[in-house]
Amino acid sequence: MENKLTHLDEQGRASMVDVGSKDETVRKAIASGFVSMESETLHAICEGEIVKGDVLATARIAGIMAAKRTHELIPLCHPLALTKVGVEFTPTDEDGRIGIAIEAVAQTVGRTGVEMEALTAASVAALTIYDMCKAIDKAMIIQGIRLEYKSGGKSGVYTREDEQQ
Tell me which residue of 28, 29, 31 sits closest to 101, measured CA to CA: 31
Considering 18, 54, 93, 131, which one is annotated as catalytic? 131
Residue 131 designated active-site: yes
CA distances from 25 to 9, 110, 114, 156 (A): 25, 6, 11, 10
CA–CA gap between residue 140 and residue 99 (Å, rounded): 9
d(CA 23, CA 137): 47
**CA 50/CA 43 separation, integer angstroms:** 10
CA distance 77 to 85: 17
d(CA 58, CA 66): 12
Count CA atoms closer than 13 A to 34's CA, side-chain side: 12
Catalytic residues: 131
